[in-house]
Amino acid sequence: MNYTISKLADSNSNLAAELKNKCYRVVGLCQQVHKEMGPFLNEYMYQETLDILFKKNDIARVKENLCKSNTGFCK
C-alpha cells in the first residue's frame, strides 16, 4: 500500500494525503471498536457500531445490502 500511495503522491500529492488521512481514520475507528467490544461477536454488531462511529465522524458510508434471491445475484 505504501508503494501505491507513494506513486500517487508523485502525480497528485493532495489526493494522496487525503487518502492516507481517511485510511488512518477508518482503520483507527475499526481498531477502537475491536478493542472496546472484543473478539468473537457477530459481524452485524461490529457493523452497527462502526456505522454509528462513521456517522459521528462524518465519514461517508454505504451499508451492506443483503441479497435475497435464489441466484445469489441482486438487481
Q: What is the pLDDT of residues 35-74, one digit of tens each?
A: 999 999 999 999 999 999 999 999 998 877 766 666 666 6
* Higher local confidence (pLDDT), 41 or 1: 41
Which pLDDT belongs to residue 68?
66
Of 5-9, 16-20, 59-63, 67-71, the one with minimum mean pLDDT is 67-71
Give the pLDDT confidence score for residue 61 in this predicted structure. 87
C-alpha cell at position 53: 462511529
Q: Are 59 and 25 contacting, i.e. CB atoms less than 8 angstroms apart?
A: yes
* Alpha-carbon gap, residue 74 to 68, rounded angstroms: 7
pLDDT of residue 56: 96
* DSSP-H helix ranges across the chain: 2-11, 13-37, 43-56
Under a CB-based contact definition with an 8 Å cutoff, are residues 45 and 33 in contact? no
Integer Cα distance of 20 and 3 in angstroms: 12
